[in-house]
Amino acid sequence: MAAVDQIGQDRGGIEGIVDSILEEYGGVQGMLFLVPSLVLLAGIVFYPMVVNGLVLSFQDFTLNPNAADPFVGLENYQYWLLGSGQALFLFSVKVTVLYELLVVPFDLVVALGAALLMNEKFELPGLGIETRAFWRGLMLAGYASPAIAAGLTWGIMEQAAEYGIVYQAATMFFDVPASGGITGNRPWAFWGVVIAKVWRDFGFMYVVFLAGVQSIPSALYEISKVDGANPIQRFRYITLPHLRTVIVTVVMIRTVFTVGKLAIPLATTQGGPVNYTRVLGLVIFDVAFGEWALGRAAALGMLFAVSIIPLILIWIKTETEDY
């Protein structure tokens, strides 16, 4: 802490020297605070990532824990980049990018709408009871649900059956094929997954935006009303500029944290029809714990990790900028 250092510098003579030594040790003391979490992280993140993850990607994994896994060189990487896994790899990269490009903006729009709406007052007419807090809580219903439960429910509602109410509602507006319903047909399955994902996830952005909207001084809106600004202008020139930094940060967080997620596609469509909603995370999951080809899956994971490093670096750069 800068303030602490200043005390040391203010004192002269031997005391000053002692303090400056303490200051040096103060630095080490700071590192002592890191010991518990660094030991934990070393044991459960760094060690397995390097020793089990990286090494495994060069091995052919055998399920027998007593047998050594033979090294196969670059064969696992070759499988994904040049061999018979190439088509699935490239296709799932496309699916993942498309998924990100749809989910994050939808999240943003829905969450912003919800936050602006929940900043309004909802008094019961005549009774004067403010019900806003209750609605604010209900808005978090999706975010509170387990992703698997959300995906499962939306998947059932999207099936072409008597109980598939979302499918039945969709047939009123769109030409959804009766065989397979939303989850079983190509363009629709993707939207089915996106709806479930946005339903599950928009709560995080909503909470952040609500806090942001609440921190805007209400005097600004009152002045702008006197000046004759309409609601759209007020949103454009007061709300949006105030939320700009929050929006940028949150969109970045969402992008990073959506990229490897697989629970919603797994529960809603199981990656189908064919591979149409099989995001990269789901491919790794299936290869690892469905086919038990852990070496291959680890190689794909490494490729995945390398490809998202730029994304993570951008995020970390903005996080550490204010140091």
Partner 1 sequence: MATQDGPATEKFSFERSGSRFSWEDHYKPVVKYIALGVFLAWIMLPVYYTGVNSLKGPGQIFQTAMGIPYVTFDPLPFGNLIAIITGQVALVPGSGGSFQGLSAWRTMWDAFPFVEYLLATTVVSVGTAGLATVAAVFSAYAFARLDFPAKTPLFVLSVMGFTFPIVLLAIPIFVLMQDLTLLNTYLGMILAFTAFTLPYNIWLLRGFFEDLPDNLEESARVDGCTQIGAFFRVILPLSRPAIASVFLLAFLLAWHNFLMAFILGNDPLHTTLAPAILQLRGTFFVKNLHYIMAGTFLSMFVPILMYMYLQTHLVEGLSSGGGVKG
Which of 274/314 has CB closer to partner 1? 314
What's the rounded Cα separation, in Å, for the pair 270 and 263? 9
Q: How far is the CB of 177 from partner 1 (least distance, A)?
A: 19
Q: How far is the CB of 276 from partner 1 (least distance, A)?
A: 19
Least Cα distance to 247 among 217, 196, 211, 223 occurs for 211
Q: How far is the CB of 85 from partner 1 (least distance, A)?
A: 16
> Which residue type is seen at 65?
P
What's the rounded Cα separation, in Å, for the pair 286 and 306? 20
User: Which residues make Cβ contacts (< 8 Å) with residue 68, sequence separation at least 6?
Assistant: none
Q: How far is the CB of 251 from partner 1 (least distance, A)?
A: 11
Which of 176/294 has CB closer to partner 1? 294
> Which residue type is seen at 6?
Q
What's the rounded Cα separation, in Å, for the pair 202 and 210? 12
How many residues are recorded in the chain? Answer: 323
Which of 102/242 has CB closer to partner 1? 242
Which of 188/206 has CB closer to partner 1? 206
What's the rounded Cα separation, in Å, for the pair 204 and 210? 10
Which of 105/137 has CB closer to partner 1? 137
Q: How far is the CB of 267 from partner 1 (least distance, A)?
A: 6
Q: What is the DSSP letter of 291?
A: S
